[in-house]
Structure 1
């Protein structure tokens, strides 16, 4: 399935590339919308998006915020599509997004909580309340750094984590992905070497490769990154930055130990290397867990988080906390790329967080996730699965929404994910999180425990994955 889709993408990339080179599509021409082009070319919207993004990376199209894709006005050197460095990332992304688009699948590998788990926050009521306010801004730009009351709330949140931060060190973004993109542009140049964790999410690796980075993976251990590998990478490659999730790591669910956190911050300081700490799942963690930014106080550590996992995946609001010098650079990049965020959305998130029941909401989520992890691990253990970081069994409990698991009979979880889809389930295959070609691991989200999943987990002894 993925191979056929990628062949179609390659075909249409070449068709459009030739049309642009031959001036059949003139410079400055506005391309058809993704929906219209997908219908005309016989592709899915996701495949059509991949075609346009591939052409953008080749330097022949440019994306304009809120307007679409345009043929570049300035002539650029066009790279042959076969040399594009992120084909493997796009291949996996296409498969995963295609499966996610199927509404008939139970999203057992999702990176977000089910909507009914978030409904108690009464988001729809907050949206109505904000929309009715006389000062609601839906007609003009918001503020450069973001909605001021929400920035103040974020400042209080960080101070409660013992991260001392001033207003000029904070910026709101449209989610963590946009925050990471800003940081890549502000701190790095094409050809720079950066570090990621293994496993690590394909979207991060894709962003880095699209920006021309040399990406090196550092193995994630149950208590944090492998520091011996890290030191070797520092000595051999002199990386500019290390992108990692210290708390509730995706997909393993592990959190860094205090001792390793201290040594990691020390190593980064000696190497002159930035640590980009992505804490998007942090609100679901034990409040006592230590952050790298707490130890470093935003010197070499840049802290990124947001509210998409606990408020809404659609109302995307994230934030960056960094030194004042770095924030000055980030502000210019934000102004050039998107001018501002959506003040209306930022107000809705602020209203949701500041009306008194957010803490109770988080406490209930943590309790439900703890119970769900324990239940899922018991089922996995019963049927011979192995859970990462628990001595090859599934007896540990832990925090957060993820269980990273494998069955000893199967080496390729991509086959397993395709089999799960035929059974009505979506599980996240390991290839989405690692740089190797084949992985036996899958990510499961404990918030989606159900009899259908438990029945499927009982099948690997019957050679699940083979048809």
Structure 2
């Protein structure tokens, strides 16, 4: 075990890195059953870490049963090793750049130091103190005991649905609390709606490019996906009309405000035309609005113009509050909610009562509003600086987004996003290549950047060197 096995710049604590290192050596069969581990002193010196760190790591490994100690003799590998991992025996095998490639790289890669391609805010931007205070207050309330242990009401916490109804009304969406159902997340909400509305073999229209997980989810539902080019003002109406006439799709899934990945917003004229086409072709629309709270200009919403007739709207607090506090919602026709509740009970038995109570408390006491005000200001500042820095690196933003966290930028001529993203992984940089957002490969020269994850100068230093290497390889 060598000094290079430890990354002091990583957010992972040193103790956890040492534990992972021993597990990795065992999986690679570099530590055989019964083999003696380095002494506490020897390992601390070889890794240039404190002895107390090694003691804590060995204690954890002993408690897991991975190693055992012999008084006066030291620490030894246990008799039972984990299954042989072929992937650990050499360089990581290349995975095809598909819709889930980006998520896996951002969440699973041990080498990922910087994540400008991920779709969430940095941990230090989130309201940790407010969440801790809210959890303490919930734990102290005697009436909160069922919240800590019981299932949530099938449709979701009534008081939170009332708050959501008022918040939606501020955006022009008229939805009574009875027209709202809570879900664990925006992803679960869309999955439930796909289960509810689609049959295998149906046709679904999505924007091109669109959020990569739409492709993965729809593939799981075994439907045919048709991409419609997305413009700075919304879907290309000519292409959308042709797709509706030719394929007769059942459903259209889109972002109206702060489109993912482009950051664009729907104009009022395009929104009206989309709804006219939907009525003409008997089309239903899922409007994914999880970025609504980032939207400063409040672009037109299809659900507001449609009155929740053909449009079903989805929202979530995962991006703005916490990915660990799983709380999303569906706003839809009143007669559909009961069937959706039954479907939710059949597939997941409900959403988190604790998450719903925590969100309600943070919204009611004003902590969430104050947090959003700070977020919008920080994102606005980061957006301007990142656009300038991208241009200096030879990339060109597709538009200047009015808010949110995403910039969609084209690479210098001759470079492919997939090749750049793969090369960037070698230096710990996770990028979002356009191929994961587009079904037909039209976005192969684009990268999506999360401006909140690009505040360090090192991100662009690594990006510049990566671009130089890829260009030199051609």
**Pairwise same-fold verdict (TM > 0.5):** yes
Counterpart of 1:429 in structure 2 is: 433
TM-score by length of 1: 0.77
* Range 103-112 or range 217-226, more displaced: 103-112
Which of residues 437, 440, 444 in structure 1 aligns to 2:449?
A: 444
Provide closer, same or farther for how the CA distance between residues 146 and 224 of structure 1 changes in structure 2, counting only shifts above 3 A. same
Which of residues 76, 93, 102 in structure 1 aligns to 2:109?
A: 102
Asked if the contact 2:180/2:330 (under 8 Å) is kept, the reply is: yes
TM-score by length of 2: 0.76
Alignment of 1:142 with 2:152, yes or no, is: yes
Alignment of 1:42 with 2:50, yes or no, is: no
Which of residues 170, 179, 198 in structure 2 aligns to 1:160?
A: 170
Post-superposition CA distance 1:274-311 (Å, at most 9, x none): 11000011100025321111100100010101101111
Distance 2:99 2:176 in 1: 40
Distance 1:183 1:441 in 2: 30
Asked if the contact 2:409/2:448 (under 8 Å) is kept, the reply is: yes
Asked if the contact 1:120/1:361 (under 8 Å) is kept, the reply is: no
Provide closer, same or farther for how the CA distance between residues 323 and 44 of structure 1 changes in structure 2, counting only shifts above 3 A. farther
How far apart are residue 143 of structure 1 and its match? 0.1
Alignment of 1:270 with 2:280, yes or no, is: yes
Alignment of 1:291 with 2:296, yes or no, is: no
Asked if the contact 1:100/1:426 (under 8 Å) is kept, the reply is: no
Distance 1:262 1:197 in 2: 17
Asked if the contact 1:105/1:421 (under 8 Å) is kept, the reply is: no
Alignment of 1:376 with 2:386, yes or no, is: yes
Q: Secondary structure at the match of 2:402?
A: coil
Asked if the contact 1:241/1:274 (under 8 Å) is kept, the reply is: yes
Counterpart of 2:242 in structure 1 is: 232
Asked if the contact 2:105/2:430 (under 8 Å) is kept, the reply is: no
Distance 2:139 2:86 in 1: 37
Q: Secondary structure at the match of 1:248?
A: coil
Distance 1:43 1:333 in 2: 40
Distance 1:95 1:461 in 2: 19
Provide closer, same or farther for how the CA distance between residues 40 and 427 of structure 1 changes in structure 2, counting only shifts above 3 A. same
Asked if the contact 1:409/1:460 (under 8 Å) is kept, the reply is: no
Structure 2 counterparts to residues 20-99 of structure 1, below 5 A = 39-40=82-83, 42=85, 91-94=98-101, 96-99=103-106
Asked if the contact 2:103/2:118 (under 8 Å) is kept, the reply is: no
Provide closer, same or farther for how the CA distance between residues 344 and 265 of structure 1 changes in structure 2, counting only shifts above 3 A. same
Alignment of 1:174 with 2:184, yes or no, is: yes
Counterpart of 2:49 in structure 1 is: none
Q: Secondary structure at the match of 1:40?
A: coil
Counterpart of 1:19 in structure 2 is: none
Which has the greater radius of gyration?
A: 2
Which of residues 95, 98, 111 in structure 1 aligns to 2:119?
A: 111
Counterpart of 1:326 in structure 2 is: 336
Structure 2 counterparts to residues 394-405 of structure 1, below 5 A = 396=400, 398-405=402-409
Provide closer, same or farther for how the CA distance between residues 223 and 128 of structure 1 changes in structure 2, counting only shifts above 3 A. same
Distance 2:135 2:430 in 1: 31
Counterpart of 1:314 in structure 2 is: 324
Asked if the contact 1:374/1:397 (under 8 Å) is kept, the reply is: no
Counterpart of 2:470 in structure 1 is: 464
Distance 1:314 1:181 in 2: 19
Distance 1:293 1:301 in 2: 5
Which of residues 233, 246, 256 in structure 1 aligns to 2:266?
A: 256
Q: Secondary structure at the match of 1:404?
A: strand
How far apart are residue 226 of structure 1 and its match? 0.7
How far apart are residue 44 of structure 1 and its match? 7.7
Aligned length: 382
Q: Secondary structure at the match of 2:172?
A: coil
Provide closer, same or farther for how the CA distance between residues 309 and 131 of structure 1 changes in structure 2, counting only shifts above 3 A. same
Provide closer, same or farther for how the CA distance between residues 209 and 41 of structure 1 changes in structure 2, counting only shifts above 3 A. farther
Asked if the contact 1:121/1:361 (under 8 Å) is kept, the reply is: no
Distance 2:149 2:315 in 1: 27
Unaligned runs of 5+ in 1: 1-37, 46-86, 390-395
Q: Secondary structure at the match of 1:138?
A: helix
Distance 1:257 1:174 in 2: 30
Counterpart of 1:416 in structure 2 is: 420
Provide closer, same or farther for how the CA distance between residues 121 and 151 of structure 1 changes in structure 2, counting only shifts above 3 A. farther
How far apart are residue 107 of structure 1 and its match? 1.4
Asked if the contact 1:419/1:465 (under 8 Å) is kept, the reply is: no
Distance 1:174 1:465 in 2: 44
Q: Secondary structure at the match of 2:440?
A: coil
How far apart are residue 120 of structure 1 and its match? 6.0
How far apart are residue 94 of structure 1 and its match? 4.2
Provide closer, same or farther for how the CA distance between residues 412 and 371 of structure 1 changes in structure 2, counting only shifts above 3 A. same
Provide closer, same or farther for how the CA distance between residues 152 and 461 of structure 1 changes in structure 2, counting only shifts above 3 A. closer
